[in-house]
Amino acid sequence: MSGLDRQSAFSGTRNVASHLAFDAERLEAYLNTFVPGFAGPLTVRQFKGGQSNPTYLIETPARRYVLRRKPPGKLLPSAHAVDREFRVITALAAHGFPVARPQLYCADESVVGTPFYLMDYVEGRVFWEPEIPEATAAAREAIYGAVNATLARLHSFDPAVLGLADFGRGENYVARQVERWTRQYRASETERIEDMERLMAWLPRHLPPPAPVRLVHGDFRLDNVIVAPSSPDVVAVLDWELSTLGDPLADFAYYLMAWDMPPSRSGVGFGSLAGRDLGALGLPSRAAEVEAYRARTGLDPGPHLATYLAYNFFRVAAILQGIAGRVRDGTATSDNAAGMAAMVRPLAAKAWQFAQEKIG
């Protein structure tokens, strides 16, 4: 285990990094004009946890807001789609799903330098360590139950009812994702990794069968939800950049990666439950999470779970390789980016381990 306190390292805000700063007065004038009830003066802080789209706390004397923008500089194709994030949270908010209430989307790059959207600040707790060290066993059990139920609810929506029937192609999701992240990996590749080479050859030949098309989050994990201050309820799901129409079982298997995540030597990257005494902590086993999700949705990832996990660990390795590319190009938005880039090799090794389990 690493010595990094992830809760302290990733929680809260900091001064805005110089390369991600913008003209606060220009933003204030824009928000005064277009956001009902907005009244400055405003102050700007940067959230520590953002890796992809820089995220800022906007405070005024009366209210707090959150602003997410595209990062400046050279970007990978189709990445950092803040317009899609705004569209999906707008659709979900209208149906009572827990998201931060959207305020406005701005494509005018003259305001803060890149397109952005503004949403309400949601009060609550974000747990960066999946074992939730400060909680009791009973509280952990209740929180994990609420998180599982929230993802199951997301996967119960008919995309057409949400007004999102055209939010993605839906069919052949895993095949298209493998192709996409292979492309993205190649675009940001900094060194040859043999396990990634094997996976890019293996995955297209071992795709899971078609699943019902649903709205998928794409990055659903414990530290992307806000839990109420004094109850286990999920009050907001964050970071919808990778959302689209696709395979809900793939989306759920992504959430399950925490149970097998290789611990990071630097402590950055993703939290891990690997090697933990789950029973003593009051945490569900991976099998129990699968059963709870199956009972809530009627969808069963079990028969193809190893393939789904191989795909997801490969996908995350490719995503973190994109961060490695931004470190190389000088456009990374987080102080922890270099440590996350170092996770590409162990993630690829874990993905290949699941691929071999499937082969066996």
Q: 173 and 73 in one domain?
A: no
pLDDT in tens, 132-169: 998 999 999 999 999 999 999 999 999 999 999 999 99
Q: Does the residue 131 lie in any domain?
A: no
**Cα–Cα distance for residue pair 17/236, rounded to 1 Å:** 26
Q: Average of pLDDT values for 172-191?
A: 92
The CATH number assigned to the domain holding 281 equals 3.90.1200.10
Q: Does the residue 272 lie in any domain?
A: yes
pLDDT in tens, 104-123: 999 999 999 999 999 999 99
Distances (CA, A) of 73 to 184, 320, 327, 331, 332: 17, 18, 12, 6, 10
Q: Does the residue 233 lie in any domain?
A: yes
Identify the bridge partners of residue 106 per DSSP, sorted by sequence position. Answer: 116
Contact 20, 71 (CB under 8 A): yes
Tokens at residue 152, please?
Answer: 């199951």
Q: 154 and 239 in one domain?
A: yes
Q: Does the residue 126 lie in any domain?
A: no
Q: 105 and 144 in one domain?
A: no
Q: Average of pLDDT values for 245-255?
A: 98
Q: 66 and 199 in one domain?
A: no
Q: What is the pLDDT of residue 270?
A: 78
Q: What is the pLDDT of residue 1?
A: 43
Q: 198 and 336 in one domain?
A: yes
Q: Does the residue 266 lie in any domain?
A: yes
pLDDT greater than 90 at residue 186? yes
Please say which residue of 92, 120, 148 terminates a domain.
Answer: 120
Is cis: bond before 41, omega within 30 of 0?
A: yes
Q: 141 and 113 in one domain?
A: no
Q: 146 and 37 in one domain?
A: no
What number of residues does the chain have? 360
Domain count, the chain: 2
pLDDT greater than 90 at residue 65? yes
Q: What is the pLDDT of residue 269?
A: 62
Can you give the residue range of the structural domain that contains 96?
A: 6-120
Q: 170 and 83 in one domain?
A: no
Q: What is the pLDDT of residue 132?
A: 96
Q: Does the residue 128 lie in any domain?
A: no
Q: 341 and 230 in one domain?
A: yes
pLDDT in tens, 41-54: 999 999 986 557 89
The CATH number assigned to the domain holding 36 equals 3.30.200.20
Please say which residue of 58, 92, 120 terminates a domain.
Answer: 120
Please say which residue of 120, 149, 164 terminates a domain.
Answer: 120
Q: 147 and 114 in one domain?
A: no
End-to-end CA distance of the chain: 30
Identify the bridge partners of residue 244 per DSSP, sorted by sequence position. Answer: 216
Q: 109 and 213 in one domain?
A: no
Q: Does the residue 275 lie in any domain?
A: yes
Least confident of 27-31, 79-83, 101-105, 119-123: 79-83
Q: Does the residue 221 lie in any domain?
A: yes
